[in-house]
């Protein structure tokens, strides 16, 4: 009989070499809905255009026109990507008259960008 994800007893016909570690880690794993949410968040980072927008907003609050000029993209394309980023709660906006300004949602987004960049820099350095 194979283990089911909701089994309280982890014993099954699959051999466990380190039963104690398996039991401990099983108790520490996040619930499936949390894991799915995290996977969805990282999917948003899977698009280079969205990452460029986030990197731009890391340095300054900008409007769609600013981002469009900066990234050499149409305003429509930038707006589409900003909708996705807002839906993922990575950016926020504020209106000033007729202009809507965008900024990163919080310092967590900066941290994600920084950690990802550091990881890539370390990886590149280790290959030298």
Distance (Å, rounded) from C-alpha 61 to C-alpha 96?
12
Helix pair angle (107-126, 48-59), 10° resolution: 120
128 compared with 87, residue with greater pLDDT: 87
| Per-residue pLDDT tens over the stretch 8-18 | 555 566 776 88
| Per-residue pLDDT tens over the stretch 73-110 | 999 999 999 999 999 999 999 999 999 999 999 999 99
Q: Catalogue the E-assigned strands of 76-116.
A: 91-96, 99-104
Give the residue extent of every domain in the chain. Answer: 47-126
**How many C-beta atoms surround the C-beta of residue 48 within 10 A?**
8
pTM value is 0.78
- How is domain 47-126 classified at the architecture level of CATH? Orthogonal Bundle (1.10)
């Amino acid at each position: 009989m194979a283990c089911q994800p909701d089994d309280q007893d982890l014993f099954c016909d699959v051999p466990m070499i380190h039963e104690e570690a398996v039991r401990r880690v099983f108790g520490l794993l996040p619930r499936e809905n949390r894991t799915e949410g995290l996977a969805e968040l990282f999917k948003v980072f899977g698009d280079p255009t969205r990452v460029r927008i986030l990197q731009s907003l890391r340095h300054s609050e900008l409007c769609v026109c600013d981002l469009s000029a900066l990234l050499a993209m149409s305003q429509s394309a930038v707006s589409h990507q900003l909708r996705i980023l807002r839906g993922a709660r990575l950016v926020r906006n504020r209106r000033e008259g007729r202009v809507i300004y965008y900024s990163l949602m919080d310092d967590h987004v900066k941290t994600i960008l920084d950690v990802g960049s550091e990881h890539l820099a370390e990886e590149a350095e280790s290959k030298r």
